[in-house]
Chains A and B, each alone.
Chain A
Amino acid sequence: MTVPTPPGQQPPPATVSPAQIRAAYQALLARRLTLLALLGGAILVSVLLDFSLGPAGLSPAQLLHTLLHPSTVPDSQRIIVWQIRLPYALMAVCVGAALGLSGAEMQTILANPLASPFTLGVSAAAAFGASLALVLGLHIPGLPDSWLIAANAFICAVGSVFLLDLVGHLRQARTSTVVLFGIALVFTFQALVSLMQFMASEDALQELVFWTMGSLTRTSWPKLGLLAALGALVVPFSFRAAWSLTTLRMGEERAASLGVNVPRVRRWSLLRVSLLSALAVSFVGIIGFVGLVAPHIARRLLGEDHRFYLPGSMLAGALILSLSSVTARVLIPGVIIPTGIVTALVGIPFFLSIVLRQRDLS
C-alpha cells in the first residue's frame, strides 16, 4: 500500500509555537461549544413555534395562560395545549435526538456513512411488528391497543438488531457485510409488511398504512416519559465511550492496537442504539432520514471528535424533526400531515447532497 506524498505538500518549516497551537485548539473547542449552543437555541425556537402553531389558532397569551393555570380554562383549550401541543412538540425533540444519536453511533461502529436505524432495518422491523398487532387483531385485556402495537413493534425492532449483531459475531463478518445484511433485513421486513397488508382487512390496512407513515400524533405523556427516561439512561454511556468511538473512526485495527476493545465497544454501542431507536420508532412509526442525515450535519459542523459529534447529532436530529413537525402543521392549513412524510421530503435533498459530495471526493 503506497500513497506517495505529493510534491508541493512538503511540510513548510515548522514555525508554529506550541502556545499558538494551544490557542488555536482552545478557539476550536470554543467554536464547537458555541455551535452546540446555537443548535440548542434553534431547537428552543422551533419547539416554541411547534407549540404555538396549529389549527386551533390560540394566541400566545392564551397558550401561556393555559400552561400556567390549566384549571381556569375551558376543557377543549386545556386538552389542546396539555394533551396535544406540548407532548407533540417535546416528542419531536426526543425522537429526533434518539434517532440522531442512533445514526451517529451506527455510522461509527459500522464504519459506513449510510448506516442508520432506517437503512439497517430497525424501522422496517418495527413496521412488521406493528402490522402483526394490527392485522392479526391482537388484544391483551387491560393493555390499550396503542401500547400493544408499540410493544410489538419494539420487540421486532430490537430482535432485528440482535439478528444483525449475531450475524456479525458468528461469522466474524466485516462491517460492510453487516451493513449488507441490514439492507437485506429492510427488504425482508418490507416484504413481510406487504404480505400483511395483502391479508389485512380494509380497516386494519388503513390503520397499518397510517402507522407506517410515522406521526407524532400517537404521542402520549407516558410514552414521552418512557422515551425520555431511556434516553437519560443510555446517553451518559454513549458519551463515556466518546474517545473509544473517536479512535474507532481511524480504523478498526488501529483502534484495537491502541487499546480499544473493539468488539465490546461495538456490542454495547449497538445495544444502546437499538433500544433507543426501536423505542422511538415503535412510538411514532417510521421516520426516515433523521438518523441518516443528522450525523452528517454534525460531522460537517463539529468534526468527528465524538465528545461533540454525539451531542451534535442528537441536537441536529432534534432540530430536523421539530422543524418537520412545524412544517407538517403549516403546509396545509388546518391539517396535520404525518411527520414521517415531511421528514422524508426534507431529508432527501440532504441525502442527495451527501452522496454527490462523496463522489466528488473519490
Chain B
Amino acid sequence: MRAVAGLIPSSASVTLNGADLSRMTLTDRTARCLYLPQALPASVHLPVLEALIAARQTSGHARFFPASGVQDADAVQAALDSLSLFGIPHLAMQSMDELSGGQRQLVGLAQALSRKPEALLLDEPLSALDLHHQFAVMDILRRETAAHQLVTVLVLHDLNIALNMTDAVTILHQGQIIASGPPATVLTPDLLRDVYRVQARVEAGADGRKFVSVDGIV
C-alpha cells in the first residue's frame, strides 16, 4: 500500500481514474491517493482541530506569520465537517495528548477524509477502536466510498467485518496472493484452515449476515 501511495520506491505503474499516479509528483499523488499508516497520530500537545487543519495545509506553505491565516474560515469549516462525520466534534478543542488511542485513531481517519482523496488506503484503521466504533467507522467508510465514488482499500484482521462490509477481499499469505474475490466465495473453511490454521465454519445468522465460527486450531 505504501508503494501504491508513492511513499516507497516502486517500479510498478498505478492508475487511478485514468490518471497514471506513478508519473505524478508526490504532492499530487498523496492528494489523490491517501495512505493512512497503522501507527496512530502521535500524542502531541496540539488541539484536535489544529491537527486537522494542519493535515490539509501540508502541500501549501504557511503564510508568513501566525497573524495571517489564523482565521482561515474554510480550513476550520472543513475540519469541523470532518470531525462531525466521525461524530467527534466535541473533541475539537481537546489536545491530542489527552485523547485515548481510539480517539486518536478517529482523528487520524478524520484527517484522511478531510483531504477528500480519490482513493483511501487504510492500514488496520480499526485496530484501536472498540466494537461500537469499529462498526460505526466501517459504516462511515462505506457511505463515503459510495457518496464520493472512492476506491477504499483496508487491511483487516477481523474476518466478520471483511465478510459483511466489503465488496471484495484479497487474502495475502507469506507475501503471496492466495485468493481474491467476493468475501463469501473467498472466505471458505478450506482457506481458513490453510491460511489461518483454524478449524472454522462460515455460518449465516438469522438476518443473513455471515460470521466465522472457530471450532479449534489445526
Where the two chains meet, the residues of A that have a C-beta atom closer than 8 Å to any C-beta of B are 1-6, 9, 11-12, 14-16, 18, 21-22, 24-26, 28-29, 32-33, 36, 236, 239-244, 246-247, 249-251, 253-261, 299-300, 303-308, 311
Contacts and interface: CB of A to CB of B under 8 A. Distances in A.
A254 B84 CA distance: 22
Interface in B112-155: 115, 124, 127-130, 133
Residue among B5, B55, B124 facing the most chain A CB atoms (10 A cut-off):
B55
By size class, the interface of chain B is 35 or more
Given A249-B46, A258-B115, A243 B60 contact: yes
Given A33-B67, A246-B46, A257 B61 contact: no
B158 to A, nearest CB: 12
27 contacts: A4-B102, A4-B128, A5-B129, A9-B103, A15-B90, A16-B92, A18-B84, A21-B92, A21-B93, A24-B93, A29-B70, A33-B67, A240-B64, A246-B54, A250-B41, A250-B51, A250-B54, A254-B37, A254-B111, A257-B35, A258-B55, A259-B31, A259-B115, A299-B45, A303-B47, A304-B46, A305-B50
Contacts, number: 172
Interface string B71-109: 100001100100010011111110110001111100010
Contacts of B55: 247, 250, 258
A276 to B, nearest CB: 18
Nearest to B61: A240
B3 interface: no
A257 B46 contact: no
A166 B115 CA distance: 34
B38 A1 contact: yes
Interface string B33-44: 011111111101
Contact of A251 (B31, B39, B65, B90): B39
A239 B133 CA distance: 38
A64 B105 CA distance: 59
Nearest to A246: B54
Given A3-B100, A259-B30, 10 more contacts: A3-B101, A5-B129, A11-B90, A21-B92, A29-B71, A240-B64, A250-B46, A253-B37, A261-B26, A300-B45
B92 A257 contact: no
Nearest to A30: B70
B89 A14 contact: yes
Given A1-B40, A21-B93, A243 B61 contact: yes
A20 B39 CA distance: 31
Contacts of B59: 259
A257 B5 contact: yes
B66 A308 contact: yes
A30 to B, nearest CB: 9
B152 to A, nearest CB: 15
Contacts of B103: 5, 9, 11
B42 A5 contact: no
B127 A2 contact: yes
Nearest to B98: A9
